[in-house]
């Protein structure tokens, strides 16, 4: 594990965490979940004017679903995978708590880009002992929209994001496009079965999928058990420990 690289840059690719056989099972279940349970997500906001031609803006798509472990036994096993847990224990541990999973599937040819952002606004925590993990079900490249990260950006802490359209309506959090550009990021292509880990405050984004095949990623979130969540996705829900033992704070009641 290149822990020093992670601490300097705020991200790390860990190759071949999952075997080809494990990926076959996960991909089969993911495709079923896409068909049966996923919903179409569209990131809103003024970033679209900078990223997309007007004729393209209305056609981009993204398939999403939260908490895959509630729909598939294979994905329930994936979140506690021993090799993944060992890597996270090195980055966060010794105790590591699971937080959530979210499917990010860019369909062929019109797979939506992601504007530059931190994940902090979606599930803010008291400190940065939180690692997002992208499990790759497909090889990624520039053509299908690999993850791109701004090296070292997590050290600046949480940033103020744009959360309103020009007309005042709420939109998905993203950073100003004139200050944070995809062109300035580091591309981190990965192979099927690899994971890319990054800090909750690492700025990242991605280009469109312009290939004739889907780009399938699943984000899995993990934190130190003492890192208190402040708001957002999965707030108040205790997660399974994938590494170590939960330490009891003074007068803390048992979990329910």
What architecture (CATH level 2) is domain 3-230? Answer: Sandwich (2.60)
pLDDT at 94 over 60: yes
From residue 10, alpha-carbon distances to 3, 98, 118, 248 in Å are 10, 19, 12, 29
Residue 148 clears pLDDT 80, i.e. is over it: yes
Task: Reply yes or no on whether the pLDDT at 44 is more than 80.
Answer: no
Instruction: Answer with the residue of higher pLDDT: 158 or 64.
Output: 158
pLDDT in tens, 228-242: 999 999 999 999 999
pLDDT tops 60 at residue 52: yes
> In the structure, what pLDDT confidence band is assigned to residue 46 with cuts at 50, 70 and 90?
confident
Of the ranges 17-26, 78-87, 110-119, 185-194, which one carries the lowest mean pLDDT score?
110-119
Q: Whole-model pTM?
A: 0.94
């Amino acid at each position: 594990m290149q822990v020093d690289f992670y601490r300097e840059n705020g991200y790390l690719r860990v190759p071949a965490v999952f075997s080809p056989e494990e990926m076959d099972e996960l991909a089969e279940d993911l495709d079923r979940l896409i068909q049966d349970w996923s919903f179409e997500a569209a990131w809103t906001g003024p970033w679209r004017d900078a990223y997309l031609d007007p004729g393209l803006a209305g056609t981009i798509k993204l398939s999403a679903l939260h908490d895959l472990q509630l729909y598939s036994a294979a994905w329930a096993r994936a979140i506690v995978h021993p090799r993944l847990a060992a890597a996270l224990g090195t980055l966060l541990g010794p105790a590591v708590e699971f937080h959530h999973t979210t499917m990010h599937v860019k369909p062929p040819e019109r797979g939506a880009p992601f504007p530059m952002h931190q994940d902090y606004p979606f599930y803010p925590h008291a400190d940065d002992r939180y690692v997002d993990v992208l499990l790759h079900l497909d090889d990624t490249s520039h053509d299908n929209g690999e993850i791109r990260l701004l090296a070292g950006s997590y050290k600046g802490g949480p940033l103020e994001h744009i959360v309103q359209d020009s007309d005042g309506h709420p939109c998905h959090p993203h950073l100003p496009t004139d200050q944070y550009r995809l062109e300035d990021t580091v591309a981190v292509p990965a192979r099927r079965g690899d994971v890319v880990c990054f800090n909750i405050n690492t700025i990242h984004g991605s280009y469109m999928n312009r290939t004739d095949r889907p780009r399938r990623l699943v984000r899995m979130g993990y934190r130190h058990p003492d890192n208190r969540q402040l708001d957002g996705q999965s707030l108040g829900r205790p997660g399974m420990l994938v590494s170590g033992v939960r330490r009891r704070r003074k007068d803390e009641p048992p979990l329910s």
